[in-house]
Amino acid sequence: MTAAPLSGLHVLDFSLNLPGPYATYLLSSLGAEVVKVEPPRGDPARHMGRFFETINRGKKSVVLDLRAPETRPALDALIRWADVLVEGFRPGVMARLGADWDRAHATQPDLIYCSISAFGQTGPRVDQPGHDLNLQALSGVCWLERDNHDSPRGSVVPVADLSSSLVAVASITAALAARTDGPRGRYLDVGMSDAVLSWVDLWGRGLDLTTQARAALQGAPGERALRPLSAPLLRGLDRRKLYAMPQYGIYRTRDGRHVALGIVDERSFWESLCDVLGLRRLKGLPMGARTALGPVLRRVVGRRIRRRDSAELLAALEAADVPATRVLRPDETPDEAQFQARDFFDERGFVRAPLPGAEHLRGEAPALGEHTDEVLRALGVAPA
C-alpha cells in the first residue's frame, strides 16, 4: 500500500476553533501526525460536538499550561520533535507564551512555523481582534451578499476561516517542498483577511455583468423609455452577479423540492433548457439579452419549472445535457450517489478531506489531555 503523502511529518498544533484546526485536519488526512496542544480548559470548540469531532479526528491531545514555567522542558521537547508548528493566536500571544518564531526557530532550526491571524502580522490592524464576520465585512463579502433591500449580510459558510485554512496548507506544503534548497526553517504569515480578499476581488471586481446588460439595453427599441427602469436593473445585476441570469439559480418544483440550474455563458445549454421547458422562442437570445431581461425571464422559467416534479424534470435535463442538480439538505448528502462512489463518507458519516491522496481518519477526536503522558514520556520529558 502506498504511504500517505505526508507520512512521517510531525505537526504541532497550538490553534483553536476553526482556521488552524481545519488546516491541521487536512494535513492529518494526508498522513501527518498531529499533536494538539491545549490549555487546561481545552479548545473552546470542544462544546460544539460534531464540529469539534470532524476537524480533530486522529489527533493527539496534550495539555500544557504554557504560562507555568515548569512546562518549559515539555514545550521545548515538542518543538524539537515538530516539523511544522501551527498557531492561531493574535500577534504577540505566542511571544508571551514563550513559543514565538524566534524562540521556536532557535530550538528547532528546520521548523516551518505558520501563524494564522485575523489581519496578519503587520499593518495598522495587527493588534485588533477579528472573527470571520469582521473579515467578510472588511474584504467585501458582506457587500456582495447583500439582500434584496441592499442590506449587507454575512455568508453562512465561514469563508474567511476556511479560505485561510487552505492558504495555510498550501503555504506549508510549499515550504516542505522547498526544504531541499537553502535554509529549511520558514516563517509563514497567513492573514485571514488576505485569504478571503483574494476570493472577493476575483468575484467582486473581476465579474462584471452590467457592461453586457448596458450594451444590450442601449440597442433595445424604446431605449429612452427604458432608462428609468434600467438603473435599478443594473444595480440588481451588480448585487446578484451570476444569480441575476435566469439560467443560473435555484427554482422550486411542483413537488416542493428545489433544483439548481448552473448555466453561465454556454449557448448550447441555454438552448437545451429552452427545449426541455418548451420555451423554444427564447432559444436565440444571446447572453447579454438574457441578463438584461433577467427579472422577466426568471419568472417565465420559474413558472415552467413549477409545473414539473423534480425527479422527472431532472431526468429530462440530464438527458438534454443541462447542468442541473437537486438541492440537498446536509443530512441528505450521504445518500448522494456521486459522493458514495467517491467514498466520501465513512461508516460513521464523517466526510473525508477533499484532497487527492487523503485518507479517512478512523480515530476519534481525543479527549482533553488524553495523550499528555504518552507523548511527553516518548520525548523523554516527565509530565509537569
The catalytic residue positions are 161
Cα torsion 372, 377, 382, 383 to 10°: value is 0
Q: Are 159 and 199 in contact (CB under 8 A)?
A: yes
Asked whether 152 and 145 are in contact (CB, 8 A), the reply is yes
Number of Cβ within 10 Å of residue 49's Cβ equals 10
C-alpha–C-alpha distance, residues 238 and 204, integer Å:
9
Cell (9 digits) for 184: 529549511
Q: Are 189 and 162 in contact (CB under 8 A)?
A: no
Cα–Cα dist 45/58, whole Å? 16
Do residues 56 and 364 lie in contact, with contact meaning Cβ atoms separated by under 8 Å? no
C-alpha 192/C-alpha 162 separation (Å) is 9
Nine-digit cell at 45? 470548540
The full DSSP string for 2-45 is PPPTTTT-EEEE---SSHHHHHHHHHHHTT-EEEEEE-TT--GG
Residue 112 to residue 189: CA distance in whole angstroms: 11
Contact predicate 246/269, CB 8 Å: no
B/e letters for 309-337, b = 16+ CB within 10 Å, e = fewer, are ebeebbebbeebebbbbeeeeeeeeeeee
